[in-house]
Chains A and B, each alone.
Chain A
Amino acid sequence: MVERSLKYLDERLGTASLARKTLRKVFPDHWSFLLGEIALFALVVLIFTGTFLTFFYTPSVQEVVYNGSYKPLQGAEVSAAYNSVLRLSFEVRAGLLMRQTHHWAALVFVAAIVVHLCRIFFTGAFRRPREVNWLVGIGLLFLALGEGFTGYSLPDDLLSGIGLRIFYSVTLAIPVIGTWVTYLLFGGEFPAPDIISRLFVFHIMLIPALLLALVGVHLAILVLQKHTLFPAHGHTERNVVGKRLWPEQTFKSVSLLLFTTAVLALLGGLAQINPVWQYGPFVAYNVTSPAQPDWYIGFLDGALRLGPPWDLTLWGFTISEVFWPAVLFPGIAFGILTLWPWIERRFTKDRAEHHLLDRPRDTPVRTGIGAAGLMVFFIMFMEGGNDIFGVLLNVSVETVTRILQWSLLIAPIVTFLVTYWICTGLSRTRLRPAQINAGVRLSRSPDGGYETVPLEPAGVDGDRTPATAGPHGE
């Protein structure tokens, strides 16, 4: 029966030859090439759980009286949005599991994107011809950040409401057009009630549409250009060595999808996340401690905590102190990140096509800069939790902040130098020699002379290449 259905489709759509071509495509096998897939599968979980949540969420700030099973709030007036999230968490069977899995998936989604981005960066996979895909990937990162922020603000609870207030102030801090942009985005003065339903539109429609479109482009470009390879015996700039999409890579990818779902469901059931009933509904003059955003916005929170208290006023026009850490710094940092392929090319003058990856140790400058950049973000993340770390380590908040402020000036340079030194050191060791060659064969001529014949990297489609392929890159 299966055969008959396939015949049916093939007669109308020509699926058989397209499928055969696609399924025979070769993809290399390194574990670090699966990091992007972790992100993709987290997105799949997000879409499934998110669709479920959409059936229960009410994007409205209209006041209703709560009478669910969370006793401390019974009889209290809360927004319909908040009420719907509490109902989902307590009254809907499997509701809390779906909600928590969704939120854990969001955290892991962005984490996987970041780790995948690091792999791309440190192995130079963004070089020609993959600059466009780098841009698509950066776009996906921004969309993921926006999707996460809009998502956790939907329950209209006290903690996310505080975050919205900060976001409001950050957009206010944009010079010249700040107040206009803010009023258009939010619909007026804070707490602008329209914002919840607008965030809903972004979160379930606009951003997911862009996300899916860009993911499609991201994968299409990858298939078109074929995947990159670590340098190894038999790997050249002109080939791809690996396993076919069917059966091996399909089995592996599906396995990873199942593992991703399993881990997220495990967290969703066992580890409480964003217990909005405990925070209570958003009230514009209330606040709770500690107050942090989800981790992927944490670097902005940390930047704001570090930020120097300098506001600038000229002729009555003010540049808020929020501008430097929350508008200028991310603008510059993400600008450098986005334009990196071209920035690097300016200095390396390398315009060649690259399908073989760099081992990070072989490009100590890039690796050093990348490590320094990660250190900057890491410092910001730590500062974002400065009150929590202070309590944990028994030091004052001020001490943590001062240490991290100095670290911001010193640590990136030190990180660069140390990383550079480690890379050059590793490159030189015999254990993992910098040069990979295919080896030579001695051959003896009939009249007694010996000659060395360099071996070609292994061959044609379908050949069995030797199992020992030599040292791979990390």
Chain B
Amino acid sequence: MTDSDQGSERVDVDRQTDRELTGSQRRAERRAGIALAVAIVAGIGLFVVYFAGGQTQVEGVLFAIAFGGLGVALGIWANHLLDAREVVEERHELTSGPEGREALEMALTEEIGPVIGRRSMLLKLLAGAGGALGLALLLPVLSLGPAPGDSLKVTPWRRGSRVVDEEGEPVELNQVPEDGFLTVFPEGHAGAADAQTLLIHVRQGSLKLPPDRMAGVPDGTHVAYSKICTHAGCPVGLYRAESQSLICPCHQSQFDVSDGAKPFFGPAARPLPQLLLGVDDENVLVAQGDFTEPVGPAFWDRGR
């Protein structure tokens, strides 16, 4: 931009096209300039903040101002300071047309030779080899993981496994207060994901279980269920003591502890499997065996 004297008037002249900036363009230029100046200050500010030790909030704001200032300037430039005109451009035919496709076919088949034309043995063997090789190339994928086997159907709980807390300390009868609960594991496998079990000390007489299952509830009050939600596998860690029910935080399935942990609300379809307990001669709780059904969410061959 140069100033040119035209009498007593000062006029901004665009050197390239030698046209004057209009009033609104001058204002736009000024606004864009301010935006860029702000961006520069913010950029310098970033250097200061960073070398002073950095601060997440200030850095974020300064980056936003710097980028935003540039963005504003370019937006103003695009909308007010360009000479851009609306342009009409014709669309070309997208298709190559039948001639074009024919030419392609010619190019592909012209020199291909006699073998491809007939249904030759060679072609069939080629297909067979391709298939066999293709499948074989997939073999390394099978190395990605072990066969499931029955690993989903067993846990480390065994007959006589002592009940321990997550730090491996044995849990005795009445150690957990009434209306209390605890996450427990079999001894030697504290922290094992599939063995995680809830030990709940319910109020005397509140359980409604059939006799064979009550036999696994020492004192009629210490009941144990798998902690793995039978819906999608989250740990059901929320125990509501007053209503003696569990709620899973993931999808809000609710299980009635007094009634064999049957689900009474939410998407879970099956109760939490019960772990039958006994007490050994040191008053420590022990398991009577593994869970009687697979724990956790359902899968295809769960019932076999």
Please list the residues of chain A having a beta carbon within 8 angstroms of any beta carbon in chain B.
25-26, 29, 93-94, 96-97, 100-101, 129, 162, 165-166, 168-170, 172-180, 182-192, 224-226, 234, 237-244, 247-248, 251-252, 254-259, 261-263, 265-270, 283-291, 301, 304-311, 313, 316-322, 325, 353, 355, 386-387, 397-398, 401, 458-465, 469
Contact = CB atoms under 8 A, between A and B. Distances in A.
A244 B94 contact: no
A269 B303 contact: no
B249 interface: yes
Nearest to B198: A285
Given A187-B144, A258-B68, A241 B78 contact: no
B298 A311 contact: yes
Given A240-B88, A243-B87, A322 B249 contact: no
B54 interface: yes
A252 B74 CA distance: 7
26 contacts: A93-B50, A94-B50, A162-B250, A173-B298, A184-B141, A185-B144, A187-B144, A189-B152, A189-B194, A225-B94, A251-B74, A262-B65, A266-B61, A269-B58, A269-B64, A284-B191, A287-B249, A289-B238, A291-B250, A301-B250, A305-B266, A318-B299, A318-B301, A322-B231, A397-B252, A401-B252
Interface in B134-158: 141-142, 144-148, 151-152
Interface in B146-184: 146-148, 151-152, 166, 183
Contacts of B82: 247-248, 251
A435 B66 CA distance: 46
Contact of B298 (A25, A101, A322): A322
Given A239-B88, A317-B303, A309 B266 contact: yes
Nearest to B67: A262
A383 to B, nearest CB: 9
Contact of B86 (A192, A243, A460): A243
Nearest 10 interchain pairs by C-beta: A269-B60, A258-B71, A284-B193, A251-B78, A320-B298, A266-B64, A262-B67, A265-B63, A262-B68, A316-B303
Contacts of B43: none
A226 B91 contact: yes
Interface string B247-283: 0011111000000000101111110000000000000
Interface residues of B, number: 77
A184 B144 contact: yes
B304 A316 contact: yes
B296 interface: yes
Contacts of A177: 300
Given A252-B74, A317-B304, 10 more contacts: A93-B50, A93-B54, A165-B233, A183-B148, A242-B86, A258-B70, A285-B235, A317-B300, A321-B231, A321-B298
Contact of B89 (A252, A287, A461): A461
Nearest to A243: B84
B222 interface: no
Contacts of A311: 269-270, 298
B267 A307 contact: yes
B297 interface: yes
A166 B91 contact: no
A465 B63 contact: no
A294 to B, nearest CB: 15
Candidate in B60, B72, B90, B253 with the most chain A CB atoms within 10 angstroms = B60
A168 B144 contact: no
Contacts of A308: 267
B78 A179 contact: no
Contacts of B74: 251-252, 254-255, 258
Contacts of A189: 151-152, 193-194
B53 A93 contact: yes
A289 B88 CA distance: 58
Nearest to A128: B94
A321 B267 contact: yes
A248 B77 CA distance: 9
Interface of B: 50, 53-54, 56-61, 63-68, 70-72, 74-75, 77-78, 82, 84-91, 94, 141-142, 144-148, 151-152, 166, 183, 191, 193-194, 196, 227, 231-238, 249-253, 263, 265-270, 296-304
Given A170-B232, A262-B71, A100 B56 contact: yes
| Interface secondary structure of A, over-half rule | mixed
Contacts of A225: 94
Contacts of A29: 86
A237 B90 CA distance: 9
Contacts of A97: 56, 59-60, 63
B234 A320 contact: no
Contacts of A187: 144-146
Contacts of B300: 174-179, 317-319
Contacts of A286: 235, 237
Contacts of B232: 165-166, 169-170, 304, 322
A286 to B, nearest CB: 6
Contacts of A182: 148
Given A165-B234, A242-B87, A252 B301 contact: no
B301 A317 contact: yes
B57 A265 contact: no
A461 B88 contact: yes
A284 to B, nearest CB: 4
Contacts of B141: 184
Nearest to A387: B252
Contact of B84 (A175, A240, A247, A463): A247
Contacts of A322: 231-232, 267, 297-298
A409 to B, nearest CB: 16
B193 A285 contact: yes
B64 A263 contact: yes
Contact of B234 (A176, A237, A291, A387): A291
B84 A244 contact: yes
A224 B93 CA distance: 11
B97 to A, nearest CB: 14
A242 B303 CA distance: 64
A319 B77 CA distance: 61
B91 A239 contact: yes
A317 B303 CA distance: 6
A241 B88 contact: yes
Contacts of A166: 232-234, 250
